Amino acid sequence: MKISTLSFKEVLSTLLLLIISTSFIHGQTFEYKDSGTDFILYDLSIPEGQNTIAYAAGSKFTYDTEGIIIKTQDAGETWEKIYPLTGTSTSFEKIEFVTTEKGFVAGYDLFMKTEDGGETWTTLNVGTNVYLYNNLSFYNENIGFVSAQLDDEPYFAVYLTTDGGDTWTPASDVENIGAISIAYANETTLFGVGADERIAKSTDGGNTWTAIYSGIIQNYFLSVYFKDLQNGVVAGEDGLLKTTHDSGATWSDFATGYHHFYALAYKGDQLMAGGTDTDIYFSEDNGETWNQIFVGNGQNQLYEIGFFEDGSGLIVGSGGIVIKFDDVFLGTNNNEILQNELVSFYDSNLNTFTIESTNDNIENVKIYSITGQHVGNFDNDSSIFSTEVSEYSDGVYLVKVSSKNQTGSLKFVKR
């Protein structure tokens, strides 16, 4: 009998490949960035269709104190304070940009609009007796809402716009709404969550609401995110994450027993939840199971996740924390389509790594070491990509390939 032997390096490389095949660089692509502030960053807005500009807004402390708006023009690498430039402002809770130039910000008795990327701001008088505008979202450039907590009865209101924020109309019936967090599922369907573990649904653009679920009295649902009409996730106390795949008719539960998750995202069959202690959890099977993919600093709370056009993104939280990530959401339908079109090989004699696409041209290739270090970024305009890797250390490398807004993941071992 012939017995084959492997070197320790070959065994280690094989084990690493097995690990990577089930969890592609999860926990390896998160980087802390300096936001230039220690304020609580409650919200983040990344205008669609671009990869560089983002805005964040927040408060010095948890209650109404001082507010801040910051902006990045290099995908989160550096940030600048854009409001207030002098003096102080009331605290901000939400920010939403419908283009890179036009946006809105909401806070304590203050709702403002900019049309020049935050250089100047105009105060909007949307409601009366408002002490806090606490929710703000746009489905597209024209359709959106802002909600408010009021000093007097009925104590809560939702204001709707269909003309890009030029005019606002009060919703006619919000008695059953969950008032803490509200999200669009499609143009006319919204979900709201709040106290007593209430989930409410609107099918007329937010004008009227029906309670569809209620849970433990005096417990709170904290956040809600829907990727489409059928599929959504709700976060509650004690690390509770509830997912639905039938527009809220039924729900499945997972709980860590500890975290408060405010930052939620949902793409394909993959979900991300960021929360207490800067910890991040991830599900690759539509919320069936969850695993922790990032162990945070044990100090901060995460509040919002946003994405650039290329799939990279940012997460913001307390203490001015900003985390930049890349290549986390893999295995979506588009990714699987591209995955089947790619063939790759490493030539140890020529020290080259080559990728071939059987269909569209390869537009961009990013290469990472097993530790998550970004070692190569290449633009390409051909069905074949090849690069010389003699300067790379021996080991496992992870590769992200982009083509026509699709992404695929590959790996190779350099020996």
pLDDT tens digits for 67-118?
A: 999 999 999 999 999 999 999 999 999 999 999 999 999 999 999 999 999 9
User: Which residue in 92, 90, 98 sits closest to 135, CA to CA?
Assistant: 92
Average pLDDT, the chain: 89
Residue 304 C-beta-side C-alpha neighbours within 13 Å: 23
Residue 358: pLDDT band with limits 50, 70, 90: confident
Q: What is the pLDDT of residue 261?
A: 98
Does 10 score more than 50 pLDDT? no
Beta-bridge mates of residue 286: none
Residue pair 403/360 in contact (Cβ under 8 Å)? The answer is: yes
Q: How far is the C-alpha of 400 from the C-alpha of 375, rounded, in Å?
A: 12
User: Which residue in 123, 64, 72 sits closest to 88, CA to CA?
Assistant: 64
- Regarding beta strands 406-414 and 374-382, do their DSSP bridges make them parallel or antiparallel, or are they unpaired? unpaired
Q: How far is the C-alpha of 65 from the C-alpha of 107, rounded, in Å?
A: 11
State the virtual CA torsion across 221, 241, 199, 179 in degrees, nearest 10: 30
Q: What is the pLDDT of residue 38?
A: 97
Does 371 score more than 80 pLDDT? no
Beta-bridge mates of residue 211: 200
Q: Is the peptide bond before 47 cis (omega within 30 degrees of 0)?
A: no
Q: What is the pLDDT of residue 27?
A: 37
Q: How far is the C-alpha of 11 from the C-alpha of 15, rounded, in Å?
A: 6
Residue 330: pLDDT band with limits 50, 70, 90: low
User: Which residue in 159, 175, 153 sits closest to 126, CA to CA?
Assistant: 159
Superfamily of domain 29-326: YVTN repeat-like/Quinoprotein amine dehydrogenase (2.130.10.10)
Q: What is the pLDDT of residue 3?
A: 37
CA 139 to chain centre: 16
CA 136 to chain centre: 16
> Judging by beta carbons within 10 Å of its beta carbon (0-12, 13-18, 19+), is residue 333 exposed, middle or buried?
exposed
- Write the pLDDT tens digit of every residue in 171-213: 999 999 999 999 999 999 999 999 999 999 999 999 999 999 9
Q: What is the pLDDT of residue 197?
A: 97
Q: What is the pLDDT of residue 311?
A: 86
**Look-up of token digits 């004008």:** 207
First to last CA, the chain: 28
Domain spanning 342-414: CATH 3.30.1370.60 = no
Q: How far is the C-alpha of 244 from the C-alpha of 249, rounded, in Å?
A: 7
Q: What is the pLDDT of residue 338?
A: 60
CA distances from 297 to 31, 280, 300 (A): 12, 11, 7
Residue 357: pLDDT band with limits 50, 70, 90: confident
Residue pair 219/234 in contact (Cβ under 8 Å)? The answer is: no
Tell me if residue 373 falls in helix, strand or coil: coil
Q: Is the peptide bond before 170 cis (omega within 30 degrees of 0)?
A: no
Domain ranges in the chain are 29-326, 342-414
Show the tokens assigned to 333.
């339908």
Does 412 score more than 90 pLDDT? no
- Regarding beta strands 302-307 and 313-317, do their DSSP bridges make them parallel or antiparallel, or are they unpaired? antiparallel
- Write the pLDDT tens digit of every residue in 230-272: 999 999 999 999 999 999 999 999 999 999 999 999 988 899 9
Beta-bridge mates of residue 411: 398
Q: What is the pLDDT of residue 128?
A: 93
Q: What is the pLDDT of residue 158?
A: 98
- Regarding beta strands 198-202 and 190-194, do their DSSP bridges make them parallel or antiparallel, or are they unpaired? antiparallel
Tell me if residue 13 falls in helix, strand or coil: helix
